[in-house]
Structure 1
Amino acid sequence: MSAAPPTPGAISSTGRRIAITAATIGVIYGYDIGNISGALLFISDEMRLTPALQGSVTTVLVAGNIVGALVAGKLATAVGRRTTMLLVAVGYALFSAWSGVVSDVLWLDVARFFLGLSIGLSLVVAPIFLAESAPAAIRGALVVGYQVATVTGILLAYLVDWALAGSGNWRLMLALSAVPSVLVIFLLVRLPDTARWYVLKGQHEQARRTLRLVDPQADADREISAIQADIAAERGGRFGEMFRRPYSTATAFVLVLGFLVQITGINAITYYSPMIFKEMGFRGNATVIGLPALVQAAALVATIGSLFVVDRVGRRPVLLGGISAMMLSGLVMISVFATGSLEGGGSLWGFAAILVFTAAFNFGFGSLVWVYASESFPARLRTFGASLMLTADLVANLIVAQFFLPLLDGLGGVTTFALFLVLAAVSWVFVHRYAPETSGRPLESIRTYWENGARWPTTPR
């Protein structure tokens, strides 16, 4: 008796494992970038760190991100998406555990650099692995779910830090993510590589078997033909082409936008919000670590909310609205520090400003900015575009991570948050002037905008 055909819309067991793996990777990534926020309070006391050394503990992670991101594409092509993700999971497990047993700041920096390198690989390869592995029925949900899982991981990091604040056990705060990392290793070894990678390596029969495992209802031969056509379209791209007409304008756009995403200060809050709350007059480790957990809960709600409105109102209104709220929050923060009202009502206004700033970022920049890199170039240049934006983003992140605490300590809250306000205003002007409204437009149509000198063609092309 033959097996019953799969139910339309049903997800295979392989598809479910991919979904679970995606969610777990996203949570670990979020946890590993968020846990330093609370841990740094106790590390600084134990190791007697200056603001510059406190910044270095965070900065080396971002430096590792940059190195990992630069080598990720070539590594994933050479050894496979799944093998690279296995290296990421092993790195997460090994270096987060190492961070929890070091004895001085030098070895902590070394461990966090290699953890950052693992994160950098993940930043590039995880979205590729998920997009290429996911069955069509859940591909969109996985992309959205990965972003939500990342914010959830940051929230979880703050909750763990808050729970351990009484004991001051920063080692456990940093090392805990090793546990789910080991789980991911066991999940990944049971998954195939992506059909696209198998086709890229000429292993068509393995690609066919993978497609049938992931989505039994798919037409495997038709999918392989589509993958071959897409790979052919991507061939022939040259990095130098990014800086020549007609794509030089699009390249400048994604570079500046990627830089502005981070330089406006979101990771100053992600990394250092407990110290900001201390500057604002809040007292007690449980309080200054617990408040960021509320901030990240609001960020999670804002991220989910953005998904429901972006297709209805368009990308530009969502981006500009989010940046406007960030600017308003900056004004409140400047007022709180300028008036010296850092006790009672003043500090509560400051908390509200930090919460709104973070939620507004995730509603606008955090949810939408990466879409432009994928839409602005033809297939043969799309990977270069995404890599350039990510590089600009990480360089700005490095600057914020290293210099925020010395600025706050040396120049004070008014000057520091005034600088972020100016940068947010520059971002608003830049998005208003240069970001096209691409909602509902096909990729070919969007590409012609940049090929036409950042103007929509007046006649159909």
Structure 2
Amino acid sequence: MSEILSATSRHATQVRRKVFMTGLLGALAGLLFGLDIGVISGALPFIAREFDVPDQVQEWIVSSMMFGAAFGALAAGWLSYRLGRKYSLLLGALLFVVGSLLCALAWGPVPLILARVLLGLAVGIASFTAPLYLSEIAPGKVRGSMISLYQLMITLGILLAFLSNTFFSYSGAWRWMLGIIAIPAVILFFGVLLLPRSPRWLMLRGREAHARRVLQQLRVNETEVEHELDEIRQQLAQKQQGWGLFFANRHVRRAVYLGMLLQIMQQLTGMNVVMYYAPRIFDLAGFNDPVAQMWGTVIVGLTNVLATFIAIALVDRWGRKPVLYVGFLTMGLGIGVLGLLMHIGIDSQAQQMAAVAMLLIFITGFAMSAGPLVWVLCSEIQPLRGRDFGIAVSTFTNWIANMVVGATFLTMLNVLGSAHTFWFYAGCNLLFVLLTLLLVPETRGVSLERIERNLFSGKALRSLGD
């Protein structure tokens, strides 16, 4: 009897180890996602100097990746259906490698912009496919942790990009900043080769025997395997509908529009302005030394990582709306006071430290609230029949809004001035407190089925979690 229990325990340990390694490799796509978001902030000042490009072209260099990501996210739905989640991730990893190397070899701003569009396609595919794959491969009891791991890897990627930028900034080697991302991309490519296919996709393609074999490797016993196979059968019986359902049902349109609004709100907080233009912001705050600016970005990245743990701790304890209220108010305060300091003039070291403190308060507010919670809400409010369509539309909206923010910040600085630009984003955050009150539902502990019933019964959007 003891031998049987020991063998069962060893098997369970092996399964947990395999699930963890599978999840870690899948989440590596999030690391690359973060690296590509963070790397341009450090490289941009050196690129501008070498190619002598004006602010408008710098905005194109930054925003071109988001343009590619928007269409990569749209294509990812079709790719993940046709090729499967695994081979979509392989394609994304290959595009990461090629795009990173082309960025490093760019001989002018136009080739660099085109290379970043290609890199954006990789980011768009990864941002859609990796969470989908992780949600389908992980056991139900650790699914939330797996998705949180992916989000955490994004913030770690941003931090590692800032650290790498700082290291290469001493020599101004911006090509190395951009090209070194090819190394983790190669690791991702060969790592994904070792991953199993998604059981849900295999069932979708009528390959139940193969799906069973995969689940037998990733679940502790046959009871779990059979239960999950039954769940997948029930899910697949409910056919996904896209544009037809959107045009036919006004309640579906309400959910899709709310998902789009949430993504626009996330981008207009101003967080990605900090991610893409951190050295310029530190320059405005009185830090004129390029190396000091780079170390400032490292502090930004570290704060972003640590504050993400606040969201993980509070989202299921406080609920979605209270965390969003605190986050938007914190961001409005931080970036509003930063604008005030720039309006007054930052002349002393004490004022510089105050400016940095306000920037870090702003980042904390985002990382603990709108950063992760918008994605959670967008997945919860969509009706089950149109969930894939709704999430795809909201993801596309995120990247388009991201592109607009990245393509306008320097222009706003030149036209409005630094103080008024930051006050604009502070005003947006205060407006979002009101929009959260009026439109956003509290979905903590509410099943997706109940949210859908409330939606189709005509309840107000803010009451979908009742």
TM-score over 0.5 for the pair = yes
Shorter-chain-normalised TM-score: which range? over 0.9
The answer for the alignment partner of 2:344 in structure 1 is 339
Deviation at 1:208, TM superposition (A): 0.8
Query: Does 1:144 find its partner at 2:129?
Result: no
Name the counterpart of 1:375: 380
- What do residues 404-446 of structure 1 show as CA deviations (whole Å, max 9, x unaligned)? 0121123211221121122112211101111111111222222
User: 2:439, 2:462 within 8 Å by CA — same for their partners in 1?
Assistant: no
User: Match for residue 101 of structure 1?
Assistant: 105
Aligned counterparts of 1:187 and 1:137: Cα–Cα separation in 2 = 24
Which AA in structure 2 matches 1:116?
Answer: G
The residue aligned with 1:267 is: 272
| Paired residue type of 1:151 | T
CA, structure 1 residues 45+212, in 2 after alignment: closer, same or farther (shift >3 Å)?
Answer: same
Aligned residue runs from structure 1 range 239-250, under 5 A: 239-243=243-247, 244-250=249-255
Which residue of the partner structure matches residue 128 of structure 2? 124
Report the alpha carbon displacement of residue 251 of structure 1 after superposing the two structures with TM.
2.2
Query: Which position in structure 1 is the counterpart of 2:333?
Result: 328
CA spacing shift, 1:138–1:442, aligned 2, 3 Å: closer
SS at structure 2 position matched to 1:5? helix
**Secondary structure at the counterpart of residue 316 of structure 2:** helix
Q: Structure 1 stretches (4+) deviating beyond 6 angstroms?
A: none
- What amino acid sits opposite 1:42 in the alignment? F
Shift, 1:454, TM fit: 3.9
Tell me the residue number matched to 1:443. 448
| Residues in 1 aligned to 2:461 and 2:435: alpha-carbon distance in whole angstroms | 18
Matched position secondary structure for 1:439: coil
Secondary structure of 2:446's counterpart equals coil
Task: Identify the residue that residue 252 of structure 1 maps to in structure 2.
Answer: 257
1:353 aligns with 2:358: yes
SS of equivalent residue, structure 1 residue 312? coil
CA distance in structure 2 between the partners assigned to 1:334 and 1:50 by the alignment: 24
Percent identity at matched positions?
31
Counterpart for residue 113 of structure 1: 117
Q: 2:42 aligns with which of 32, 38, 41?
A: 38
**Does residue 134 of the first structure (1) align with residue 135 of the second (2)?**
no
Deviation at 1:342, TM superposition (A): 4.3
Which of 187, 192, 198 is the aligned partner of 2:191? 187
Offset, 1:199: 0.4
Aligned to 2:65: 61
1:159 aligned to 2:141?
no
Please list, as runs of the form range in 1=range in 2, the aligned pairs for 1:191-210 lying within 5 A after superposition: 191-210=195-214
Distance 1:111 1:209 in 2: 40
CA deviations 1:309-342 (Å, max 9, x no partner) are 2222111110110000011012212211111224
CA distance in 2, matches of 1:153, 1:123: 13
In the alignment, structure 1 residue 16 sits paired with structure 2 residue 30: no
TM-score using structure 2 length: 0.94
- Shift of residue 137, structure 1, vs aligned partner: 4.9
Mapped to 2, the partners of 1:16 and 1:264 lie a distance apart of 34
TM, length-normalised to structure 1:
0.95
- Counterparts of 1:97 and 1:217 in 2: how far apart (Å)? 45
RMSD of aligned residue pairs (Cα, Å): 2.1
Q: Indicate how the Cα distance of structure 1 residues 342 and 396 shifts in structure 2: closer, same or farther if over 3 A, else same.
A: farther
8 and 297 in structure 1: CA distance in 2 versus 1, 3 angstrom threshold = same
Give the secondary-structure state (helix, strand or coil) at the position aligned to 2:13. coil
Any idea what the Cα deviations from partners look like across 1:223-242, whole Å, max 9, x if unmatched?
A: 22210110112x15242433
What SS does the aligned partner of 1:237 have?
A: coil
Q: Is the 8 A contact 1:22 1:142 kept in 2?
A: no
Alignment of 1:408 onto 2:413: yes
SS in 1 for 2:133: helix
Q: Which letter does structure 2 place at the counterpart of 1:398?
A: M
Alignment size in residue pairs: 459
C-alpha displacement at 1:447, in angstroms?
Answer: 2.3
| Cα distance in 2 between the residues matched to 1:431 and 1:327 | 14
Matched, 1:283 2:275: no
Give 1:175 deviation, angstroms: 1.0
Q: Specify the code of the residue in structure 2 equivalent to 1:53.
A: V
1:52 matched to 2:56? yes
Superposition deviation, residue 456 in structure 1: 8.7
1:28 and 2:32 aligned: yes
| Structure 1 gaps, min length 5 | none
* Stretch moving more, 272-281 or 208-217: 208-217
Q: Which runs of 5+ in 2 are unaligned?
A: none
Q: Distance in 1 between matches of 2:435 and 2:140?
A: 35
Q: Structure 1 residues 137, 311: CA separation in 2 closer, same or farther (over 3 Å shift)?
A: closer
Larger mean CA deviation between 127-136 and 152-161 belongs to 127-136
Distance 1:457 1:434, change over 3 A: closer
Q: Name the one with the larger helix percent.
A: 2
Q: Is the 2:442–2:462 contact (alpha carbons within 8 Å) kept by the matching residues of 1? A: no
C-alpha contact (below 8 Å) 1:249/1:454 kept by paired residues: no
Residue 308 of structure 1 is matched in structure 2 by 313
Q: Which structure 2 residues correspond to residues 227-238 of structure 1 after superposition, within 5 A?
A: 227-233=232-238, 235=239, 237-238=241-242
Provide closer, same or farther for how the CA distance between residues 134 and 455 of structure 1 changes in structure 2, counting only shifts above 3 A. Answer: same
- Is the Cα contact below 8 Å between 2:437 and 2:462 reproduced in 1? no
CA displacement 1:290-318 (0-9 Å, x = unmatched): 11211121111111111112222111110
Q: Secondary structure at the match of 2:8?
A: coil
